[in-house]
Amino acid sequence: MSDDALFTLQSHFHRGAYVSALSLASSSDASLSSSPRAALYGARAALALNDVSSALSLLSSSPPSSAAKALRSLVRFTQANQLADEGAMESAIGEMEQIKDEVVVGEPEEYVVDIALATALAQVQRYEEALIHLGVGEGRKEIEWCVFRERAWLRTALAANILLRIHRADLAQKEYAAARQWADDSLLIQLIEAYLGLTSGGRAAQQAYYVYDELAADPAYVASATAVPALVGKAVAMLVQGDRKGAAETLMLAKGLLRAAAPTHELLARHDAANEAFDAALLRREVEGVSLGA
């Protein structure tokens, strides 16, 4: 896989443009289909979309590794979660914990095991355990920042996400500050800053708006489904700053782009269902009003 293609795939994934990342990783291009890293990124994008079949398809072509094994277990966890099978979910988590115990320290894709396990633990609200596996509070070793930057950034991004879920913006800020020392121009670091800005409000929310606006206006992504996550982030930043009209317009644009690229996307299905429920409730209210008036 060429460096440019890998960079594009990583960028799609980091931006949250999982539909585009999955499409690229699943490409018939030989340079993509033969890349273990492309398969891992694609499988993770598929799981983010709850697309179990695509994740399994990509992992079936991936060489044996601790990362691939962990992601297969995360697939089983996702399937069990969809079925609300708590026993199977715990079994899948146990598999990932076993893989974590057996993983060779320093293995190139070792961080994927940590992220897969932490992702599952966070979904069952075992936040403290998830943060421990991500190394929160331990500090990153200098060699990790210098040599394995990507794994450190991804761990930090997930850790910040979990910390914000449990209303510990102070600890998320510490994780961000430590990461920023080593790579303040990294896309992931900018996105972490934006997450924090949306939570903090004020000038920080304005800075988050600038980050998302720049990403949404990128000529390589503008007017495509890849711009949707940035547009949603931009809309949230506008809403936090009190610009409801601008937020609504931006969300409409994002919805249109997503519907064109993935008409059956879960978010669209939920949005359409909510609209139908609202319209039905409004109709009942109108009918009741007419009846009472009569």
**236 alpha-carbon distance from chain centroid:** 16
Region of residue 107 (left: phi > 0; alpha: psi -120 to 50; beta: else)? beta
**Rounded Cα distance, 32 and 5, in Å:** 8
Burial of 148: CB neighbours in 10 Å, binned 0-12, 13-18, 19+: middle
Would you say residue 219 has pLDDT above 90?
no
Chain segment 190-199, per-residue pLDDT in tens: 999 999 999 9
**Residue 62: pLDDT band with limits 50, 70, 90:** confident
| pLDDT reported for residue 148 | 57
Q: Could you read off the pLDDT of 146-176 as tens digits, one per residue?
A: 445 667 778 888 999 999 999 999 999 998 8
DSSP structure class, residue 224? S
The four Cα atoms 215, 205, 151, 130 give a dihedral, to 10 degrees, of: -140
Please name the residue ranges forming H helices in the chain. Answer: 3-15, 18-25, 30-33, 36-48, 52-60, 66-82, 86-102, 110-123, 127-133, 142-147, 149-165, 169-180, 187-200, 203-216, 228-240, 244-261, 266-293
Nearest alpha-carbon partner for 59 in 79, 44, 39, 73: 39
Q: How many CB atoms lie within 10 A of CB 57?
A: 15
The vertex-188 CA angle with 201 and 263, nearest 5°, equals 85
Comparing CA positions, the residue from 147, 65, 80, 146 lying closest to residue 112 is 65
Q: Give this prediction's pTM.
A: 0.82
pLDDT computed for residue 147 by the predictor = 47
Averaged over 1-6, what is the pLDDT? 68
